[in-house]
Amino acid sequence: MLSVEENELLTQVGSDKPMGILFRRYWFPALLSEEIPGADCTPVRLRLLGEDLLAFRDTNGDPGIIDPYCPHRGAPLFFGRNEECGLRCVYHGWKFDVNGKCLDLPNSPEGETYKEKVQINSYPAWDRGGLIWVYMGPSDKEPPKPTFEWLDFDVDRRFVRKYLVNCNFVQALDGNFDPSHVQFLHNTLDNSRSHYSNKLRGGERVSQDSNLQSFADFVETDYGLMFLYVNGRADGKKGVSLGHFYMPNASAAGIAGFGVYSSNIYVPIDDENLYQYRLRWSYEPFTDQQIYEDKYAGHTMPDQIDGSFLSVQNKGNDYQINRLEQKNYSFTGIRSTPIQDQAVIENQRGPIMDRTQEHLTRADEPVIRTRQVLINAARNLMEGREPPGPSNPDTYRVHHARFVVPEGVTDEEAVEMAKAKMVGPDPDWAPKRW
């Protein structure tokens, strides 16, 4: 368990808090590109890391993320006119560009040069991979842009959806690095043979036995943490899994079908709420069926209430739990794997889990390791030691790997095979399309 002080350090993301300062050393998603779809479009209100902000695109299509209030008399710029490469306040006509520079002060008796003394707070913004990225830290510490593999892909090879989740970001992260929960929360009463995830694996599922884990390792890297596991299987073979924690708020969430990888990014709105970005991406163009499964089937990307980022199955309706299905089909009675996760993380002793009340076991070691990496990085930064990840974005170009090793392969050999599969396309996937 954590102490009160450690839990507060881990979960608080305000601008004056150690974890909030750490987050502000990284680029992270602020919103979907489609939320500000074109030049001079309607501005969008944002809240990130406890700060209220405003996003818009100028006449050139460049994104901007700025303070939402005019520095003149505090009028809301959300109602502003988006025109000629700037956002003009409707109260007195003051106008600002995407970098916060004042372009016009039409009611200023002080004259034209007075606008040089007026600047609105703004953050660097970047449009890539279907997301608007933001950097909210000191200007002299601005790192290179992210280089995740999927940022290189066109829309026919990536898909992203955004969800509102009502809890602290650490609760969401914890679930990504908790290998033992899959055998319960996401299982069905026939050991998942009829589960949708079985289809993604090609219709053949052989359970792994957590009690037969023969190897586990956790390797700290510039990007965060690498997880390596070798598990015994019910058929006597060994399954190998390799995953990643990308500092400060993302994971390689697994494999979502043949040749399709997945990632999760958790962006704190404040200490008690977050936006989750669920990504699917592939080295090959998606098939029509894969596109349908992600966009419309509701399994990997749950349906949302129109005009919102809230899932149809949500806390207000108890995630539409079906007790009859729970008795006869699944452990939870909740359809959709992501919603099963959301149901438990949003209801863990409140929106900020009190980790002084936990009783952890050996199976929780990946969770413990992930938290410790975050805590250590925040403490190091407070002592003047910068995190290595922001200045080394190419180290983030790794993905999940999972496969069954041939008989006779040692655990050490299996680990090396896994490392070889975490970079670039896996040729073993190529002929396997459903």
Domains of the chain: 29-141 (2.102.10.10), 149-429 (3.90.380.10)
What are the pLDDT digits (tens) for 127-153? 999 999 999 999 999 999 999 999 999
Residues in the chain: 434
Instruction: Please compute the mean of the pLDDT values over residues 232-245 and round it to a whole number.
Output: 84
Residue 404 has a pLDDT of 85
pLDDT at 125 > cutoff 90: yes
Quickly state the pLDDT bin for 230 (edges 50, 70, 90): confident
**Residue 159 and residue 282 in contact, taking contact as beta carbons nearer than 8 Å:** no
Return the HEC string of 278-305. EEEEECCCCCHHHHHHHHCCCCCCCCEC
* Average per-residue pLDDT for the chain: 90
pLDDT at 208 over 80: no
Output 428 or 317, whichever has higher pLDDT: 317
Q: How confident is the model at residue 314 (pLDDT cuts 50, 70, 90)?
A: very high
Confirm if 329 and 321 have CB atoms less than 8 A apart. Answer: no
Q: What is the mean pLDDT of residues 316-339?
A: 94
Please say if the pLDDT value at position 186 is more than 50. yes
What average pLDDT does the segment 351-363 reach? Answer: 93
Q: What is the pLDDT of residue 134?
A: 98
Least confident stretch, 97-111, 266-280, 287-301, 345-359: 287-301
How far is 245 from 266, CA to CA, in rounded Å? 12
CB 266 within 8 A of CB 276: yes
